[in-house]
Structure formats: C-alpha cells, structure tokens
Amino acid sequence: MTSHTIIQPKILYYGTPVVLLTTENEDGTTNISPISSSWALGNYVILGLGFGSHGLENLRQRPECVINLPDASMWQQVEALAPLTGRNPVPDYKKELGFRYEADKFQAGNLTPVKSAIVRPKRVGECPLQLEAVVRTIRFPDYADMFAIVETEVCHVHADKQIVKSAHHVDPQAWNPLIYNFRHYFGLSDQLGKTYRSET
C-alpha cells in the first residue's frame, strides 16, 4: 500500500487530452479555443468551457463546432494559442491573467484552416483527429458560476490516414494524443495492455 497525505491542489487537471475547439464567430470566421476538459460516451462528447469564454459565446449563438484533437508533436502550437482570446475588448479578468486579443488564431498558431464537411466552423488541418459536432444542450450549473457544460453530438469524423486501422477503428499504436497534466504537456508512453472489449 502507498502512503498518502491530504493536499489542496490549486488545479485538478489530472491528465486529459487537449482539444482545439473551433467555433464560428459572428463575422463567419473561425475561432480556436484550447481546452482540456472533455470526455466521450458513444457518439457524444461533453466539453467544459469557462464562463465568459469567446468559444462558449459562439456556441450559444451558433451551436456547431469541431473538436480537433492534436497529437503530442503539436504542444508548442497549442501553447502559442494559450494566452490568446477572440474577445475584443479583452475582459478585465482575462487581462489580469495575461490574455491578449487575436483575431486570426490559425496564423498565430501556425495552423491551417480546412473546410468542414457538415458544420460551418473550420477544422484544424494539422490535428490527426477532427470531430465535427452539433451542440445538443448547454448547462450552467447552479453550484458553480465559472464554467458551462456543453453536450455535443459528433456527426462526422476525419482521421489522418496514418492513424487509421480500419474503417471503424483508430490505431492506438499510431495515435499519440497530447495530454494536459497539471499544466504540463505530455504524450503517451508505450502500451501497457488493453481492455477485454478491444477489437484492435
């Protein structure tokens, strides 16, 4: 048995995949929001977005998005977007955190916009997995006023050929998602095993 102690961590980013969420701005351009709170169940992906974020405001007005999943090699491009916001003027609370306005986040992150098949926001061409999705509902919990829970349904999946195992499977040996671990970036290590339900 291991030895434990009680702590009060400032953050609970305990290791989740990074998402570059693309949404449509009022003028028809595409915004990119780096987020670290997401999980999937079936064809549904649940997103956690900070209240007051530009991406959240876009989703409330235009409920479509692309959930772009970068691989580990893209961490510097993701970090280049971290201090940027699509909100102009920049809210005071974001100024205090060091954010600055950027209209073209694709250029800022050295990323390529690619037309989506179904939804209006552009995809991030460099991301090996790109999930086009529509918003089913947005929840604002009464127990917390700093975030929203966005429930999306994935309607189209684009996968880089290098990580495709078959028409219905991503190759887990080839796919190396970027992981956000207590505000540090990581990739995956070697495979340890697989679940009994794995088909690959």
- Residue 104 and residue 13: Cα distance in Å, rounded? 27
Burial pattern 35-52, b for ≥16 Cβ within 10 A else e, equals: bbbbeeeeeebebebbee
pLDDT the model gives residue 200: 82
The pLDDT assigned to 192 comes to 85
Biggest CA pair distance of the chain: 57
What pLDDT does residue 154 have? 99
Within 13 Å and on the Cβ side, how many CA atoms surround 9?
8
Which residues are within 8 A (CB) of 96 and not within 5 positions of it... i.e. 6 or more apart?
A: none
Per-residue pLDDT of the chain (200 residues; tens, 9 = 90+): 889 999 999 999 999 999 999 999 999 999 999 999 999 999 999 999 999 899 999 999 999 999 999 999 999 999 999 999 999 999 888 999 999 999 999 999 999 999 999 999 999 999 999 999 999 999 999 999 999 999 999 999 999 999 999 999 999 999 999 999 999 999 999 888 988 788 88
DSSP letters along 54-77, please? Answer: HHHHHHHHS-EEEEEE-BGGGHHH
Query: What structural domains and CATH numbers belong to the chain?
Result: 14-186 (2.30.110.10)
pTM of the entire predicted model: 0.96
Query: In terms of Cα–Cα distance, which of 82, 73, 169, 168 is closest to 126?
Result: 73
Rounded Cα gap, residues 84 and 108, in angstroms: 9
In this structure, what token pair is assigned to residue 137?
Answer: 């509902």
Residue with tokens 């990074």: 18
Q: Calculate ∠ Cα 12-100-32, nearest 5°.
A: 65
The confidence score (pLDDT) of residue 96 equals 92
